[in-house]
Amino acid sequence: MTAAKRKRAVLDDSYSQFDQVNGSHPWAEQVPEGSIQYPVRKLKNGKVTYFNFHLAKEMELLPEDHAHRLNKKLEKKLLQNFCLRIINEYEQNEGVSYPKTQMRENTYMATRYLQLQHPDKTGRTSGDGRGIWNGVWTSKSGTTWDVSSRGTGVTALAPGVVKAGHPLPSGCEDYGYSCGMAEIDELYSAAILSEVFHRQGYHTERVL
């Protein structure tokens, strides 16, 4: 093997950590009534417009000496693992199917929790209305990270779905908070503000 090929092999292997964030999460097993499981498909034609290299290295998803520059192999790996859309109840009822090559192997959970804007205020029909949990990651140094995504499609826990009384397709805005999507300016704002808070010593969620 030439030096160039060895370097490429090491680079490819250095991105394999992301494959372990694959939808599996102990919460789904320990509290089965606390979440809804969804099949998930990979979206085509995605593009990475933001990536937090500092956080990725802190999580030990990337080696310390990795350049703070997005290359094609890293972008491909990120899109494979994070450019996702759930197949929700609407699509399931309509019999919508996708090629096996587009499907992720595991299901991903949307968690139930109390949201005061929901009429019943019991937490049974509220929670992750447009998000899923990508999984859990434990670094070699022993720190455990929960990883989740937003804008991955509308779940049965969205206020608009509860208001409608029946499943809705992702992107539907007929019932208020029911589209399941996320605006890119909202995501940029969350990414920037979370890092500002973090660097000021405030504990908060961060955007990878």
Cα separation, 23 vs 193, whole angstroms:
26
pLDDT digits (tens, 9 = 90+) for 21-68: 999 999 999 999 999 999 999 999 899 999 999 999 999 999 999 999
Which residues are within 8 A (CB) of 80 and not within 5 positions of it... i.e. 6 or more apart? 18, 42
Is the pLDDT assigned to residue 3 strictly greater than 60? no
End-to-end CA distance of the chain: 34
> What distance in Å separates the CA atoms of residue 70 and residue 97, rounded to the nearest whole number?
33
Question: 188-191: long-range contacts at Cβ-Cβ below 8 A with a sequence spacing of 24 or more?
Answer: 188/50, 191/50, 191/52
Burial class of residue 94 in the structure, from the number of CB atoms within 10 Å of its CB (0-12 exposed, 13-18 middle, 19+ buried) = exposed
Structure token pair of residue 182: 């996320």
Per residue in 97-137, pLDDT (tens digit) is 999 999 999 999 999 999 877 777 788 899 999 999 999 99
* SS3 (DSSP) at 18: helix
How many other C-beta atoms lie within 10 A of the C-beta of residue 87?
Answer: 18
- Separation of CA 205 from chain center: 13
Measured in whole angstroms, the distance separating CA 82 from the mean position of its chain's CA atoms is 6
pLDDT tens digits, one per residue of 123-182: 889 999 999 999 999 999 999 999 999 999 999 999 999 999 999 999 999 988 889 999
Domain ranges across the chain: 3-199
Beta bridge partner(s), residue 108:
38
pLDDT of residue 119: 76
